[in-house]
Amino acid sequence: MKLILSTENTGPESQDQVIELAIIDADTTQTLFNQRFKPSVFIKEQAVSVHGITLGALAHIKTWADYHDHILEIIKNAESIMTYNCDFDFRLMRQTAEAFDRVWPQVIPPCRDLRVAYADIAQIEFNEYYGTWKWQKLEVACQQQGIDVSDLKTHNALDDCRATQRLYKKLQGAFDAYWKPFVKPLSTRYEEFKENIEEISQLFSQGLSISHIHQKLFQDGKITLSYTHFTKFFKDYTETYVSLAESPAPRLAPKRGPKIARDREIEFQANKHEIIVLLNKGYSKAQIHRMLKKQGKWNTSYANFTEICRQYNVRKHHKLDINKALK
């Protein structure tokens, strides 16, 4: 079963939570889940202005914790899950689960982001700054394709699912063709890797290097593939992402005086969200520094830029994406 999922949230930041979740069947439009949740944090005013859900309206309903197991039961057996902002929706769901001391699984069905796919398929407007086709709002995408959504309310989780489903069905052939290249061809070597994916992921999470993981599995007789093929498969199914620590690392004394230190602190605080987004898009720190300087958002040197990133613990992480490997 293919699912479509949408959320409404308290905000976009690392401490925010899901307050509305809807899941429907992509083929039949049957509603499988549609609930609101009482959050443990305040709802930001900007978020309220978008979806209209206030904390008072949620004061006497259940929290995410009460539905967590049921939600996982719905999504765990899906063939795939489609959303109109995959990374955002799943990050907020993970944050919400962890806020209520619930475990979010490492292995979930493949998630397809229609927003990114539609931008590449429709090619409406090219964004020179990011070097990609411009993302379109869901309601705008439907309008561009002549899809009637007059009966739906924007920024309502269930209605957003329905709008996403209509867009998917209108361009289903194009979407399916767009995602098809991501499916890796099967081979004997790949099957060996796939059969041991759970152990590989576990060993990697324990801090073992790729070479040590390969050596261990080879000595145990679980794989016969070479180290070259092993690393190729491993890198194919590894996600790299950048995060910002909740609390800054211990500060070093500024090298060029307190004024420059203050300036770079102010510049970093004003641009930190954009910096993280650009890093996750694959831009180097040097490229980001040049972009910010060109836009007048950053005035201090590249050395100051890299130093403040280090002080605020901007880290690159690597995570084995089991979902891709199990396709």
Residue 290 CA, chain-centre distance (Å), reads 26
* Bridge partners, residue 35, by sequence: 21
> What pLDDT, on a 0 to 100 scale, did the predictor assign at position 315?
65
- Who has greater pLDDT, 131 or 274? 274
Largest CA distance in the chain: 64
Mean pLDDT of the chain: 82
Rounded CA-CA distance 312/18 in Å is: 27
Q: How many Å apart are CA 259 and CA 265, to the nearest integer?
A: 10
How buried is 263 (Cβ within 10 angstroms: 0-12 exposed, 13-18 middle, 19+ buried)?
middle
One-character DSSP codes across 109-160: --EEEHHHHHHHHH---EETTTTEEPP--HHHHHHHTT---TTS-TT-HHHH
**The pLDDT of residue 72:** 93
Asked if 110 contacts 324 with a C-beta cutoff of 8 angstroms, the reply is yes
Three-state SS at 282: coil
Report the pLDDT value the prediction gives residue 250, as an integer from 0 to 100.
46
CB neighbours of 258 closer than 8 A, spacing ≥ 6? Answer: none
How do residues 203-235 score in pLDDT, each as one tens digit? 877 777 778 888 888 888 888 877 777 877 776
Distance from the Cα of residue 197 to its chain's centroid: 22
The alpha carbon of residue 325 and the mean position of all alpha carbons in its chain are separated, in whole angstroms, by 18
CB neighbourhood size of 136 (10 A): 20
> CA-to-CA distance for 297 and 267, rounded, in angstroms?
7
Condensed to tens digits (0 to 9), the pLDDT of residues 28-80 reads 999 999 999 999 999 999 999 999 999 999 999 999 999 999 999 999 888 88
At 172, the pLDDT band (50, 70, 90 cuts) reads very high
Quote the pLDDT of residue 137: 94
Q: How many CB atoms lie within 10 A of CB 193?
A: 22
